Structure 1
């Protein structure tokens, strides 16, 4: 029998955590344990979790240390090899864990597993995340970087993935203290270790309209961790799929730069661009226009991109 632990990092999600827990509890294939790590919430989030009578739920409370540390704490405490992640404001369709179980049975040597996703936008509309893979795809993703790049909102995210604890115990952990790009870094690292087994069924739900989703502009400037990791890890050049990772990082850096410009995070934009200048001068030249492009033009680009999605 395949036993799956669920890990939920929690911080000030009193409006959403109840629905998230219900979606986990009501799975057609039940989780073996549900670990909620309260990362120093200042609202009623922890009390809401305590109000659930399901004996599979284990609440761990720690001082505020960030989402990555909360995930690491939960994964370390998990009893099983397979660990499904879900954020405290997202949802699963009732067959999510059943589909993950089927992927594990069919592809026991994969490093990580995921299903397709929906997004609930700021207007409450449920939108299918389109990917290059068909809705009936059930197998190993041959080119993770290409499939991720050509998906509307990425191929996997932090509420669609099931990972292995044995990989975590080898030292591959979510980077603590990083405010942006930590999740994407982790998916990229896993992709260098082995295969992603993926189901095209859309069974995980990302709520774009949840509380505390927006990221405020930084005064000191923040470089996304996935970008820092790529350009400061020389050993990546020895990987067979290095060119695929580099192409992916370049595209992601472009998207990140224009996102920062649109959201007036000039400190992070400047810091990111001049960091990249040290390693990739061509990409640096491609990012420079983000400094000077009028915001109304950036909004038009964003609108066109959303319409295309």
Structure 2
């Protein structure tokens, strides 16, 4: 008979030799509940696999795959996980003492499908600087669709996976998987998570330190085009999801959020990408201008859309 597992921790790792050992050992030091820690080595070329293989704890499950990206790695772990709850972590960040125990306790007490926590943003030295979010409904429970509307109204969308602990049954019920790709698909995961309209609880417990690494791949010049293309996928998916919502208020909120992601795209497009023509064609092909109009909620949105028309929709393709 297979033993019950309380929580599955899923960690993609790529060339994480400097941090992965410490993170895994800290997780495994918690002993008051049953866990599995699933680390997916996504084609590392350093000593990541060697470090992990030296850990003999039976609660550690290792998966090795050729480099396919962080979202494919998470999907590989989701396919085999057995815990009642799921937590996603990044290999290079830091967690508080009692991290899993407190998350499990709070999620159980709240009778939530998803509990969302807080964290610290820190510079590359680990110096704590500021909370990840400020405007969430701390100590309260909302349905997922209420949360979508709250986030859009407050202009704060905490889509970071490492803020969440999720009931596995909820993931299975809604067939949730990551859209594979290079960047920004955590936005889509969290929006689809919320659109399932389960019960969400919010705790202002800052139990995670997100390290802003200026040397990471997301800051490389050759990665900006990939990020911009991923934003196009995100915008198109949000607009498609909006059309499926029975509640007008939720549709309206998702349309507004699509405009927010359009701003992120245009910021990259104007200043950092190298292949503007290809991205412009892709944007116009996937996102019809009239679908952005329902997202207008202010004069600022009107001004932004005029910029988008001038820079994207009205530009001559040579």
Common fold by TM > 0.5: yes
> Structure 1: how far apart are the matches of 2:155 and 2:94?
19
**TM-score (structure 2 length as normaliser):** 0.77
* C-alpha contact (below 8 Å) 1:129/1:151 kept by paired residues: no
Structure 1's unaligned 5+ residue stretches are: 292-309
1:237 to partner: Cα distance: 4.1
- Classify 1:99/1:247 alpha carbon distance in 2 versus 1 (closer, same or farther; 3 Å): farther
Taking a change above 3 Å as real, the CA distance of residues 12 and 138 of structure 1, as seen in their structure-2 partners, is same
Q: Is 1:252 aligned to residue 272 of structure 2?
A: no
Corresponding residue for residue 163 of structure 2: 160
Please give the TM-score of this superposition, normalised by the length of structure 1.
Answer: 0.79
RMSD (CA atoms): 3.1
Gaps of 5+ in 2: 294-301, 313-318
Between the aligned partners of 1:74 and 1:289, the Cα distance in structure 2 is: 44
Matches of 1:221 and 1:115, distance apart in 2: 28
Q: What residue is the counterpart of 1:140 in the other structure?
A: 141
CA contact under 8 A between 1:13 and 1:89: conserved in structure 2? yes
* Alignment equivalent of 1:270, drawn from 277, 280, 284: 280
Change (3 A) 1:73 1:12: same
Q: Deviations over 1:265-305 (max 9, x none)?
A: 553753565343443256643435677xxxxxxxxxxxxxx
Alignment of 1:136-285 (within 5 A): 137-141=138-142, 143-145=146-148, 147-148=150-151, 154-170=157-173, 171-176=175-180, 178-193=181-196, 194-209=198-213, 212-215=216-219, 216-218=223-225, 222-224=229-231, 225-233=233-241, 235-240=243-248, 241-264=250-273, 267=276, 270-271=280-281, 273-274=283-284, 275-278=286-289, 279-280=291-292, 284-285=305-306
Q: Which moves more between the two structures, 230-239 or 203-212? A: 230-239
Hey, what does 1:93 align to over in structure 2? 96
Cα distance change on mapping 1:140 and 1:146 into 2, 3 Å: same
Conservation of the 8 A alpha-carbon contact between 1:38 and 1:61: yes
Deviations 1:52-81 (A, max 9, x none): 233211111122222112111112211112
Give, in whole Å, the separation in 1 of the partners of 2:310 and 2:25: 46
* Worse overlay, 144-153 or 51-60: 144-153
Task: Label 1:138 to 1:83 Cα distance change in 2 as closer, same or farther (>3 A).
Answer: same
Runs of 4+ in 1 over 6 A off after TM superposition: 150-153
Bigger Rg, structure 1 or 2? 2
2:27 matched to 1:24? yes
Counterparts of 2:115 and 2:227, CA distance in 1: 36
Give the Å deviation of 1:115: 0.8
